A = this chain, B = another copy of it.
Amino acid sequence: MIVVMKEGCTKAEIENVMQVLRQKGFGAHLSEGEEQTIVGVIGPKDRVRELGIENMSGVEKLVPVSNPFKLASRAFHPDDTKIKVLHHVIGGDEPTIIAGPCSVESREGLIEIAKAVKASGAQWLRGGAYKPRSSPYSFQGLGEEGLKYLADAREATGLGIVSEIMEPGLVELVASYVDVLQIGARNMQNFALLKAVGKTDKPVLLKRGFSNTIEEWLMSAEYILAEGNPNVILCERGIRTFETYTRNTLDLNAVPVVQHLSHLPVMVDPSHGVGHARYVATMARASIAAGAAGVIVEVHPKPEAAWSDGSQTLTLQAFDEMAGQLRQLHALTQSFQKTTVNV
């Protein structure tokens, strides 16, 4: 953290700031220029911000300079983290493809979808049993019944199961059925939930909140890691901007930025990211070219009959075609990454 002093601040004001910092146990280095005086503070970012130094006489502002995440940082763990679920390793030689309906609807329907996406090359099946809905009058999911159908689909196909969890009180139940716990965008900073999943031994797919910075996202991963669960998969799913032709703005820049800052694998959800089926396959391809470990997409045999999110859902045929393309792009992209000059 840097303390920027006001132009024309007095020596006494500077001294006062440095004294307060040192009393609180921080290191303080003074740097005086003709126009600008700054005090470099050595200590954890958040605690300094909390001191209220900014309100002291002669202080203009505080400027953070270091990243607040530790366990999630590349510096802490230089090698890529790879996570194995059943037979598939995320962050390995082939792209991770997760597919399934927005909501679990029926046992038979789900198994039909599971068989189809497996045939197309997906390794994991997604499906919502507990659904976050902006309206209390919308379908809220089948609950535990939906979890049972997901487990049946695993039984029938061998696919790993990913499903969303929305409250700490259900972690044990959901974890008993699924292979990967999903934290949705709206719960990215539900800290009680983060702590609860951090105490399980299930990998966690952590979606980025639609208006959260990458730093905040990594701090939410840090919450899970700090509880002892090392298996966090990050998933970019679109941020909120002023654009209205897309439901959200899928932020693919987040992929290389996360890879620079962190060792955790990062995936992309183009279905929620763009919100219209006609753009999903294109953005999935771009995601793989951006270096994502894989994608998670919504599919349905008849999107116009899906119980939720029909507008952004691919048909099984479109998914099949896309999956093949993603494998080709992934192979080509991986061949590049081995030789790229580090700029």
Contacts and interface: CB of A to CB of B under 8 A. Distances in A.
A4 B33 CA distance: 18
Interface of A: 2, 4, 6-8, 20, 27, 29, 31, 33-36, 38, 40, 42, 44, 46-47, 49-56, 62-63, 65-66, 68, 75, 132-139, 166-169, 186-187, 189-193, 195, 209-211, 213-216, 219-220, 222-223, 226, 239-246, 249-257, 260-261, 273-274, 276-283, 285-291, 300, 302-311, 313-315, 317-318, 321, 325, 328-329, 332-333, 336, 339-343
B305 A52 contact: yes
A273 to B, nearest CB: 7
Nearest to A292: B286
Contacts of A186: 189-191
A38 B42 CA distance: 10
Contacts of A192: 166-167, 169
Contacts of A65: 2, 4, 36, 38, 63
Contacts of A321: 339-341
A289 B285 contact: yes
Contacts of A300: 52
A139 B44 CA distance: 13
A309 B261 CA distance: 22
